């Protein structure tokens, strides 16, 4: 059931850009924004629901969907109760997704877990660099909303998403996006490194060494993500 004053975004997404959607979103949630991490989780939620047709099922980590469970597009009540850690459930094409986010050092690490496919993606965002203020127009809130939106799409959503494909017989099938097709350029480059770069070490050790030296921020983010990479991050 729709909550009072809840905004419907899905019907607007094709004709209204993300900046206007954020203005509507900000009207409803301005008083609930308590820190920069809240802003980034909210912006991620808006990208999931308004631009990618995910339905939010509420907070928590329950890995089952009740037959009568209703999805909605707005943020649920108590979504930011814990301050710097978040757990939200989503549904798309009958698949259950769990979004988990937690502050680690200067980064907000966000994971999106496809429960049925056992696939997980993550993105790390520096809240102090990405967010300028808690409320207002999108251009005033985020330092570069377009880049952040693209990263959310490429690094968080696409790697775990099932898409529909029409084959030559006009049958619709679900197919997985290739897991490396949406990696960041530096990560794809790292994965393609020859084994001979660092003699006497395994390929995995060579890649790890390269990441730590060439991309320290990305390495820090991945290390932080591994700190809670099991399927039960938080207790609700």
- Every domain of the chain and the residues it spans: 18-161, 165-222
pLDDT for residue 224: 52
pLDDT at 221 over 60: no
Residue pLDDT, tens place only, 19-44: 888 998 899 999 999 999 999 999 99
* Cα(197)–Cα(36) distance, integer angstroms: 40
Residue pLDDT, tens place only, 160-193: 986 544 444 444 444 444 443 444 443 343 333 3
pLDDT at 197 over 90: no
Residue pLDDT, tens place only, 57-92: 999 999 999 988 999 999 999 999 987 899 999 999
pLDDT band for position 208 (cuts 50, 70, 90):
low
Pick 18-161's CATH classification: 3.40.1000.30, 3.20.20.80, 3.30.70.120, 3.40.50.2300.
3.40.1000.30
More confident residue, 12 or 85: 85
pLDDT for residue 11: 42
* Cα(62)–Cα(98) distance, integer angstroms: 8
pLDDT for residue 163: 54
More confident residue, 122 or 194: 122
* Cα(80)–Cα(141) distance, integer angstroms: 18
Q: Looking at the DSSP assignment, which residues form a beta bridge with residue 100?
A: 87, 111
pLDDT for residue 174: 46
User: By 3-state DSSP, what share of the chain in percent is helix, strand and coil, each rounded to 5?
Assistant: 40, 20, 40
Q: For residue 211, how far is the Cα from the chain centroid?
A: 22
Q: Looking at the DSSP assignment, which residues form a beta bridge with residue 91?
A: 55, 96
pLDDT for residue 113: 97
pLDDT band for position 110 (cuts 50, 70, 90):
very high
pLDDT for residue 203: 47
pLDDT for residue 84: 84
pLDDT for residue 106: 86
Q: Which two tokens stand for residue 76?
A: 């649920």
98 and 87 in contact (C-beta within 8 Å)? yes
pLDDT band for position 196 (cuts 50, 70, 90):
very low
pLDDT for residue 190: 36
> pTM for the whole thing?
0.67
**What's the whole-number average pLDDT of the chain?**
75
């Amino acid at each position: 059931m729709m909550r009072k004053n809840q905004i419907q975004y899905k019907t607007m997404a094709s004709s209204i850009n993300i900046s206007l959607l954020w203005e509507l979103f900000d009207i409803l949630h301005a008083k609930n924004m308590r820190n920069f991490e809240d802003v980034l989780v909210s912006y991620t939620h808006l990208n999931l629901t308004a631009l990618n047709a995910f339905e939010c099922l509420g907070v928590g980590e329950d890995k089952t969907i009740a037959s009568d469970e209703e999805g909605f597009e707005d943020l649920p009540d108590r979504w930011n109760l814990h301050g710097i850690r978040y757990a939200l459930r989503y549904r798309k094409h009958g698949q259950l997704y769990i979004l988990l986010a937690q502050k680690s050092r200067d980064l907000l690490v966000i994971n999106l877990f496809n429960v049925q496919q056992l696939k997980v993606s993550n993105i790390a965002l520096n809240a102090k660099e990405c967010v300028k203020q808690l409320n207002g127009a999108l251009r005033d809130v985020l330092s570069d909303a377009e880049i952040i939106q693209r990263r959310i799409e490429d690094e968080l959503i696409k790697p775990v998403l099932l898409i529909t494909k029409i084959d030559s017989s006009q049958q619709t099938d679900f197919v997985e996006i290739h897991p490396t097709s949406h990696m960041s350029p530096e990560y794809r480059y790292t994965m393609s490194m020859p084994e001979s770069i660092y003699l006497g070490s395994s390929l995995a050790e060579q890649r790890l060494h390269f990441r730590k030296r060439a991309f320290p921020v990305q390495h820090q983010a991945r290390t932080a993500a591994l700190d809670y990479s099991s399927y039960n991050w938080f207790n609700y």
